[in-house]
Amino acid sequence: KRGYKVAIYERRGDMRNEEMSAGRSINLALSDRGLLALEKIGLVDEIKAISIPMHCRYIHNIDGTSVTQPYGKTGQFINSVSRATLNMKLMDLAEANGVVIYFNYKCESIDWKNKTVSFEKIHNANNEKQETRNAKLETINFELLFGSDGAFSAARLQHQLQHEKFNYQQYYIDCGYKELTIFPNADGDFAMEVNALHIWPRKDYMLIALPNLDKTFTCTLFFPFEGELSFSKINTAEKVKDFFAKNFADAIALMPNYIEEFLNNPTSSLVTVKCFPWIREDKFSLIGDAAHAIVPFFGQGMNCGFEDCRILDELIDKHNENWDLILEDYQSLRKPDGDAIADMAVNNFIEMRDKTGNAKFLLQKKIEARLYEKYPEKWIPAYSQVTFSPHIRYSDALKRGQKQESIMQKIMQLENIESIWESEEIELKILESLNN
Amino acid sequence: KRGYKVAIYERRGDMRNEEMSAGRSINLALSDRGLLALEKIGLVDEIKAISIPMHCRYIHNIDGTSVTQPYGKTGQFINSVSRATLNMKLMDLAEANGVVIYFNYKCESIDWKNKTVSFEKIHNANNEKQETRNAKLETINFELLFGSDGAFSAARLQHQLQHEKFNYQQYYIDCGYKELTIFPNADGDFAMEVNALHIWPRKDYMLIALPNLDKTFTCTLFFPFEGELSFSKINTAEKVKDFFAKNFADAIALMPNYIEEFLNNPTSSLVTVKCFPWIREDKFSLIGDAAHAIVPFFGQGMNCGFEDCRILDELIDKHNENWDLILEDYQSLRKPDGDAIADMAVNNFIEMRDKTGNAKFLLQKKIEARLYEKYPEKWIPAYSQVTFSPHIRYSDALKRGQKQESIMQKIMQLENIESIWESEEIELKILESLNN
């Protein structure tokens, strides 16, 4: 839209024409940061049309009871969107706006001095086992290059290999994930409450489910790789059946293929990547997961990537297309925010799998929600800062959230908190602590 | 000594026969952890014979005054040893004990399934620019392989590339270093106090000097890469001269070649590496810098590597040569200790370059030293725990040190601490805090 000539080189094939390898997707939760970025480029309506609002966490307890926990204030919600549907839509919209996409181009090397990238043209990239390759490289010239190629970024690897002092960190959590499916009910309708993110919190693991437009739910089991209850131990149809019957009794009725899916779908791992620097003068930057891959437990991976774009866009205006200044500022602004959401996302895993099943934790959330309704300027729960307050930087949300959490820790230790949580005394205590 | 057949494959040439590229060495400070390990294998006397005791930090202030700060209690000291001299000695001793060393072998790949390593035989490996290679690979078999090849370990890279979920972190501090030399004085003797580690602390940078057997001192300037005063700005003979005249007036008289050395010696960087896992079943382990590269500011890099060996040796006894158990225990014990000394080493940079020039900090060290003399069981300064208490684990030293530091922070804020630091009141206050 600014008149730049943009080409995208993509390792995979065009998913709009090819069959995808299944079972590796966690549905995305589009929230206010992502929406703000889409709004700025005029795409928000098209993306909202393929999204399903989720107003609350719908918590399935092990005893068969359930409870809901609103995500924010009345009227605030997040949006379930299928990764594949979103990708296809964004590609259509990009092409309609003049972007050219080259598929099956695998980045082999980058020469920053001569500003060229060399690609290997590959076939069947979506099926890694049948991949055949063509040794001939195709070299293209660039003026400005973005490494927007995800957690295992080939551009980042080239950047790192040609960097004398590159700070780099990759951290795998000890859980992996497995995709399962809940099908529509006999009437062809959603088998559970549609406008919710369903969670079966089980302390060391959890199952979640997000709604799709076709009335299925994409379920994801987050589960340890090793240990008593783990992917390495639960490895036969019988063990899977036992394990699910004990832990997810209400869900298995809705998942006719869960045993087969569990045994056949791939087990994927979850990595956090932090690195620095992200840029090279006025000619290169990492962006999105390539700069800051995070785990999915805050629902912020895509939102953070879209926010990168919004900030970059604002800096193009601010610095009048002086790319030296734009990229320098982009990196200084976004690096602390990328680090902050990475840490919050890891912490939120513990909250989701463990604490959402805990009555005291749910009470704490209630107290915070009440404060938020009454004093929306003074007390914004950490989750709301990240999810519904796109103008609060992630790094500020982390700091404010930590302060609020330490206040709430003390409040929750009060002996009779269950009976006095709505009292003025508690309210005053909390608000006073905020000023210390 | 246990009867294993041991071969070492080394990328570099044999430094005992070849001229080394100069200017990249920081002298080593051998202390009690290293000595304990050497003692256990009967090498301590041979290594002590090539070492020079350093009893204190000898601090050169910018105004020309100086002050000494003992490292520990009376009779405790660390030992300056030249990296090259030590390496050559250890190689001689290893060969005398039946170890075979293959030089100019560059590790290209490791096959853990078939237990083979492939090496490229290279020539002139010590001079990277003139290196010529022989494309033919030589493949050897192993029963048990140790990746003991340093911060930029080729074995670790192979391990990482063939690992699905490898946690990895490399972190460069924003300072690099440059080697300079202090020559003997006109009488052919040491130009400064020999039994000390000399420091010129200048807040954002520092110069240090360690004595050598040939009566020179190896000096190292730790200096920012970027900024007003940095390697990138101080880049002409005139600027170097000005900078040294202002900051190291007493040293330049002893360093006739400092301008030339500053401009011609390489600028090296300082990296911390953390990773996990270190091992593969009963057949592979990382050890030393390859497992946990640390910055040199605690003088613990070599000591930590030698301690790895001591612990491994004890585990061989404990598990009766069951290598599955030995390596598993070795990793569980050493990983938290490697992490702890890595963090302490980065923190000590700030202490050395900044705080050793600060009167209040020196008073704090005096108070702690006094407590240590009076109550050696209750209060061991963090530095002494790491340096002179080889039976305290690094991870415990970090925790105890943090607790003590927070106590001392409060004590040092007392208004008249300068006049009452030797009082019984202060002593009691500190000892009581220890019990909280």
Q: What pLDDT, on the 0 to 100 scale, is given for residue A25?
A: 72
Please report residues of A whose CB lies closer than 8 A to that of B160: none
Q: For residue range A271-284, list pLDDT tens digits in order.
A: 999 999 999 999 99
Give the distance from residue B269's alpha carbon to the nearest chain A alpha carbon, in angstroms: 7
pLDDT at A27: 87
- Beta carbons of B171 and A171 less than 8 Å apart: no
Q: Which of A164, A171, A225 sits opposite B167 (nearest CB)?
A: A171
Closest CA to A199 of A59, A304, A334: A59
Mean pLDDT throughout B413-419?
92
Question: For the segment B15-41, what is each residue's pLDDT rounded down to a tens digit?
Answer: 998 776 666 677 899 999 999 999 999
pLDDT band at residue B378 under the 50/70/90 scheme: very high
Are A169 and B170 an interchain contact pair (Cβ–Cβ within 8 Å)?
A: yes
CB B274 within 8 A of CB B342: yes
Q: What does the pLDDT look like over A17-43, one tens digit per residue?
A: 877 666 667 789 999 999 999 999 999
pLDDT of residue A260: 96
User: Rounded mean pLDDT of B164-187?
Assistant: 95
Residue B135: predicted pLDDT: 63
* Interchain CB distance below 8 Å, A166 and B170: yes
Closest Cα partner for B342 from B407, B397, B406? B397
pTM: 0.85
Which chain B residues have any C-beta within 8 angstroms of a chain A C-beta? 164-172, 225, 269, 271
Look at residue B32 in the predicted model and tell me its pLDDT. Answer: 98
pLDDT at A135: 63
Q: Compute the Cα dihedral for A383, A387, A391, A396 and give only its sign.
A: positive
**A176: CB partners within 8 A, 6+ apart:** A222, A223, A224, A225, A231, A267, A268, A269, A270
Task: Show Cβ contacts of residue B34 under 8 Å, excluding neighbours closer than 6 positions.
Answer: B302, B303, B306, B307
pLDDT of A252 reads 94
Confidence at residue B196, expressed as pLDDT on a 0 to 100 scale: 97
Q: What is the pLDDT of residue B298?
A: 95
So what's the pLDDT on residue A333? Answer: 97
Give residue-wise pLDDT tens across range B101-154. 999 999 999 999 999 999 999 876 555 554 555 567 899 999 999 999 999 999
- Flag whether pLDDT at B262 surpasses 60: yes
**Chain A, chain B: beta-carbon pairs less than 8 Å apart:** 30
Q: What is the pLDDT of residue B133?
A: 58
- Which stretches in chain A have pLDDT values below 50? 130
What are the chain A neighbours of B270 within 8 Å (beta carbons)?
none
β-partners of residue B291 are none
Mean pLDDT, chain B, integer: 93
Tokens 């006894």: give the residue: B317
**pLDDT at residue B171, as a whole number:** 96
Share of chain B above pLDDT 70, in %: 96
Residues of B with Cβ-Cβ distance to A164 under 8 angstroms = 269
Radius of gyration of chain A (CA): 23
The pLDDT, as a whole number, for residue B7 is 98
Q: What is the mean pLDDT of residues B77-88?
A: 94
**pLDDT for the residue B357:** 81
Q: How far is A428 from chain B (nearest CA, A)?
A: 31
Q: Is the pLDDT of residue B249 over 70?
A: yes
Whole-angstrom Cα distance, residue B13 to residue B236?
A: 34
Which of B169, B268, B274 is the best mutation test for A, with the most CBs of A within 10 A? B169
Question: Which of B165, B166, B269 lies at the smallest CB-CB distance from A165?
Answer: B269
ipTM above 0.85, yes or no: no
